[in-house]
A and B are shown apart, each in its own frame.
Chain A
Amino acid sequence: MQFELDADQRALQESLRRFLTREYDFELRRGFLASPHGTSPAIWRSLAEQGALAIGLPEEHGGFGGPVETMLMMEEIGRALVLEPYLSTVVLCGSLLASRGRADQQADWFARIAAGSCKLALAHSEPDARYALDFVATTAGADGDSYTLNGVKSTVLDGAVADQLFVTARLQLQDTVAVFLADPRTPGLERVMYRTQDGRTAADVTLRNVKLPRASLLGDESDALPAIERSIERGIAALCAEAVGVIEALNHATLEYTKSRKQFGQPIARFQALQHRMADMFVFATQARSMALLATGRCSSGDAAQRRHDIGAAKAFIGKAGRFVGQQAVQLHGGMGIADELSVSHYFKRLTMINATFGDADHHVAAISEGILAEGDVS
């Protein structure tokens, strides 16, 4: 058992941190945020040039690394509050492509992902699903050489910037879930685009008799739900790592602020009430990192029950830790904590949105709770 990074991983971490510190500081980010979609073509290109968009992709398609490298990238994304659709494109759609894609689809899309010439989004969640992954009411009917899709996908992360959507739908004949690659400009596909609380984009997608060619089916007609669940597990592990980056940045910012802010003639960091609050924030941060490491380590585990349990537990804990650290960082910054001007409010919003993505703490605790009930049935 060891939690060490190897020399290559440390080098990757350092170079990503150096790049983002230089090219994505809070003032530069403010500029990106003000652009129509919050993204920057130059940053995306730069990430591609550094190989960051190939992390976790199969080696035969020019990819490198695995969950640990993804964790390192996501932690830096968290620290710098990067707005690019990395999670959607590389982690979610990339892993789905790896597990389900046909050879021609893999050859085509992995090259584009790594080169930075496409942005992808997973259109899975539906208005009535909340966090349930197996709730898919969108239908796909086979119709000669094509499929016809009908349904609604909601809060599709990065849905406004994606030039290809990975749409999930229930095959009418088989009653199993399939994944389709859909160009958002396909007739019948309507995309309502909006910004998210934390400055990214999302879209609600309505599909009305959208005709997609047979070749747009990702892989074959066998049930894609297990692969979707595994991609989202990877996404959850990645979000946990991103949250760790955010939490550490917030703790650092809070510590520095309380050391410089003076009231009653002294830095407020001298007050024990604040010191103990920051100690508790540190306690949460330490454990949040442990849980992000656990989730990362479990990503490639073949034991499905343990994988699901531990990754869910990590997301639940990260939700609790993020809430505490986020709220307390704002509190300790006083009024400045809710000002747009400081990074604190932006970090807090990101942590809050991470909790609301792929299951909040209550959702994952409930799943573990159901598991506890089931343990009893077995014994």
Chain B
Amino acid sequence: MDLEYSAAEARFRVEVRDFLRTHLPAALAAKVLGHKRLTREDFLSWHRTLHTRGWSAPSWPAQFGGPGWSATEQHIFDEECSAAGAPAVIAFGVRMVAPVLMAYGSPAQQGFFLPRILSGEHWWCQGYTEPGSGSDLASLKTQAVRQGDTYVVNGQKTWNTLGHLADWMFCLVRTSTEGRSQEGISFLLIDMKTPGITVRPIGLIDGEHEVNEVWLDNVKVPLANRVGEENKGWTYAKYLLTHERVNIARLGESKRELEALKALARRCRSDGHPLIEDARFRDRIAHLEVDLLALEYTVLRVLSEEAAGRDPGPISSVLKIRGSEIQQELTELQMQALGPRALAFVPEALDAGWQGKPDGAEWWAAICGRYFNMRKTSIYSGSNEIQRNIISHRILGL
């Protein structure tokens, strides 16, 4: 047993840190660390910077143009990027549709799409969930009917993240109503500029625009844009869901936010004194620090399993549950640190460079909204109840 990173891994960390110091613009990092609104260009400019270095797709093998990093190197990269305040990689292209294309896509699909994901030319979004199909995803009803060399797609997707910024959508559609509901699903790649697609924002709890309804009205999709076989889409969708393992813990981000919470507790005052001096509040930070350490060493154990070439199995459900709960507790304590300041709703202060009244809103305005927003983490990517089902069925054998 050895708890230390290898010398090569330690050197890699330094290399990533140096790169971030020299290439991540301070203004962009300040936006990320201050939880300001990011523009499409904010994400893309950073994506391009990473792409120039060959790092835009940390999880990709070298054969598809990725850096070919080990799981541990990816983890180190994520920790350093999170700590430095780099915008997160938009997962839908790099981490979600790309692995499916690598495993099941045609050579033509791979040749066309993968380089464009790598370069940032294509921004992807996900068309999975429907109004009537959330946790029971396989009950989805959006219909694709073959007409010659195209599918005609009709239906509605919802909770589509950042689809209003996207160029392409990977989409689950029903191509058969025979047999079990899982057996009639196909996996389509849809150009968001295709006539018949309407994207409508869903107002969220924090007042921000993040997710959408996507309506598909006689949308024509070439057969060539189907991944793999017709009616086998469920297999590909499941592959995608299980492919995400370590990143699901959001460890790097939570480590950064724990430090942000401590800084906040030093900055906020209670009865004239720094809140950090209040042992009752500080103890709650300490509990969270302990819980985060337990998550971290669980992630590191999973990485070590992967490094040894073993499949850690459905342990990702443990990481999802604890990772999301810790993210939520962090935002809750950050909100609580503000005390009555948390009541103020000043959404204009979420724009970088905003200066105005009330005083200080540029540093506290984002905090309470994040508490509300982050309730999503235990709901998305398979709700934590679904994760518990997975643990009880696939690990405990119930």
Binding site for B on A (CB under 8 A): 1-5, 68, 255, 259, 269-270, 272, 275-276, 278-280, 282-283, 286-291, 293-294, 296-298, 310, 313, 316-317, 320, 364-366, 368-369, 371-373, 375-376
Is B9's CB under 8 angstroms from A1's CB? yes
Is B282's CB under 8 angstroms from A373's CB? yes
Q: How far is A5 from B304 in the complex, measured between Cα atoms in Å?
A: 12
Q: How far is A279 from B317 in the complex, measured between Cα atoms in Å?
A: 10
Is A294's CB under 8 angstroms from B297's CB? yes
Residues of B within 8 A of A259 (CB): 398
Within 8 A of A (CB), among B270-319: 274, 276-277, 279, 282-283, 285-287, 289-291, 293-295, 297-298, 300-301, 303-304, 307-308, 315, 318
Is B295's CB under 8 angstroms from A279's CB? no
Residues of A within 8 A of B276 (CB): 372-373, 376
Complex interface: stretch among B37-45, B369-377, B386-394: B386-394
CB distance from A260 to the nearest CB of B (A): 13
B343 within 8 A of A: no
Q: A1-B9, A4-B304, A287-B297 are in contact. List 17 more A-B contacts (CB 8 A).
A: A1-B4, A1-B303, A2-B304, A3-B301, A255-B398, A275-B396, A275-B398, A290-B298, A291-B293, A293-B301, A298-B3, A316-B287, A364-B290, A368-B286, A369-B282, A369-B285, A372-B276
Is A368's CB under 8 angstroms from B290's CB? yes
B62 within 8 A of A: no
Residues of A within 8 A of B391 (CB): 279, 282-283
14 A-B pairs with C-beta separation under 8 A? A2-B307, A5-B1, A276-B385, A279-B388, A283-B391, A288-B294, A293-B297, A313-B289, A313-B294, A317-B290, A317-B291, A320-B290, A366-B286, A368-B286
CB-nearest residue of chain B to A298:
B3
Q: How far is A84 from B199 in the complex, measured between Cα atoms in Å?
A: 69
CB distance from B29 to the nearest CB of A (A): 19
Is B294's CB under 8 angstroms from A290's CB? yes
CB distance from A289 to the nearest CB of B (A): 8
Is A365's CB under 8 angstroms from B286's CB? yes
Q: How far is A270 from B301 in the complex, measured between Cα atoms in Å?
A: 31
CB-nearest residue of chain B to A283:
B318
Residues of B within 8 A of A280 (CB): 388
Assuming the contacts A279-B391, A372-B289, asked whether A293 and B1 have C-beta atoms less than 8 A apart, the reply is: yes
Residues of A within 8 A of B3 (CB): 1, 293-294, 297-298
CB distance from A282 to the nearest CB of B (A): 6
Assuming the contacts A275-B388, A287-B294, asked whether A1 and B283 have C-beta atoms less than 8 A apart, the reply is: no
Assuming the contacts A275-B389, A373-B277, asked whether A287 and B1 have C-beta atoms less than 8 A apart, the reply is: no
CB distance from A41 to the nearest CB of B (A): 34
Q: How far is A286 from B387 in the complex, measured between Cα atoms in Å?
A: 15
CB distance from A299 to the nearest CB of B (A): 10
Kindly list the 10 A-B residue pairs having the minimum CB-CB distance in the complex, ordered from nearest: A297-B3, A275-B392, A290-B297, A369-B286, A279-B391, A279-B388, A287-B294, A368-B286, A290-B298, A276-B388
Is A278's CB under 8 angstroms from B392's CB? yes
Is B290's CB under 8 angstroms from A365's CB? yes
Interface residue from B1, B290, B295, B398 paired with A278 (Cβ < 8 Å): B398
Assuming the contacts A287-B295, A291-B297, A369-B285, asked whether A269 and B398 have C-beta atoms less than 8 A apart, the reply is: yes
Residues of B within 8 A of A366 (CB): 279, 283, 286
CB distance from B276 to the nearest CB of A (A): 6
Q: How far is A375 from B303 in the complex, measured between Cα atoms in Å?
A: 30
Interface residue from A2, A291, A317, A365 paired with B308 (Cβ < 8 Å): A2
CB distance from A302 to the nearest CB of B (A): 12
Q: How far is A286 from B211 in the complex, measured between Cα atoms in Å?
A: 34
CB distance from B396 to the nearest CB of A (A): 6
Is A286's CB under 8 angstroms from B1's CB? no
B243 within 8 A of A: no
Assuming the contacts A1-B304, A282-B391, asked whether A316 and B9 have C-beta atoms less than 8 A apart, the reply is: no
Is A282's CB under 8 angstroms from B286's CB? no
Q: How far is A310 from B291 in the complex, measured between Cα atoms in Å?
A: 12
Is A4's CB under 8 angstroms from B321's CB? no
Is A372's CB under 8 angstroms from B294's CB? no
Residues of B within 8 A of A291 (CB): 293-294, 297
Is B4's CB under 8 angstroms from A372's CB? no
B165 within 8 A of A: no
Residues of B within 8 A of A369 (CB): 279, 282-283, 285-286
Q: How far is A4 from B309 in the complex, measured between Cα atoms in Å?
A: 13
Residues of A within 8 A of B5 (CB): 1
Q: How far is A304 from B25 in the complex, measured between Cα atoms in Å?
A: 37
CB-nearest residue of chain B to A285:
B318
CB-nearest residue of chain B to A286:
B318
Q: How far is A288 from B290 in the complex, measured between Cα atoms in Å?
A: 11
Residues of B within 8 A of A372 (CB): 262, 276, 282, 285-286, 289
**Interface bits B211-237 vs A (CB < 8 Å: 1, else 0):** 000000000000000000000000000
B21 within 8 A of A: no
- With most chain B CB atoms within 10 A of its CB, the pick from A276, A280, A290, A375 is A290
Q: How far is A278 from B396 in the complex, measured between Cα atoms in Å?
A: 8
CB-nearest residue of chain B to A296:
B1
Assuming the contacts A276-B385, A276-B388, A293-B297, asked whether A3 and B304 have C-beta atoms less than 8 A apart, the reply is: yes
CB distance from B5 to the nearest CB of A (A): 6
B395 within 8 A of A: yes
B322 within 8 A of A: yes
Q: How far is A298 from B266 in the complex, measured between Cα atoms in Å?
A: 29
CB distance from B320 to the nearest CB of A (A): 10
B359 within 8 A of A: no
Is B398's CB under 8 angstroms from A316's CB? no
Interface residue from B262, B290, B318 paired with A313 (Cβ < 8 Å): B290
Q: How far is A286 from B315 in the complex, measured between Cα atoms in Å?
A: 9
Interface residue from A272, A287, A293, A320 paired with B322 (Cβ < 8 Å): A287
Is B262's CB under 8 angstroms from A1's CB? no
Residues of B within 8 A of A289 (CB): 301
Residues of B within 8 A of A320 (CB): 290
Is B1's CB under 8 angstroms from A2's CB? yes
Residues of A within 8 A of B287 (CB): 316, 365
Assuming the contacts A279-B391, A372-B286, asked whether A313 and B1 have C-beta atoms less than 8 A apart, the reply is: no
B72 within 8 A of A: yes
Is A282's CB under 8 angstroms from B395's CB? yes
Q: How far is A290 from B6 in the complex, measured between Cα atoms in Å?
A: 19
B149 within 8 A of A: no
CB-nearest residue of chain A to B9:
A1
Q: How far is A340 from B230 in the complex, measured between Cα atoms in Å?
A: 59
Is A283's CB under 8 angstroms from B396's CB? no
Residues of A within 8 A of B303 (CB): 1
Is A376's CB under 8 angstroms from B266's CB? yes
CB distance from B117 to the nearest CB of A (A): 30
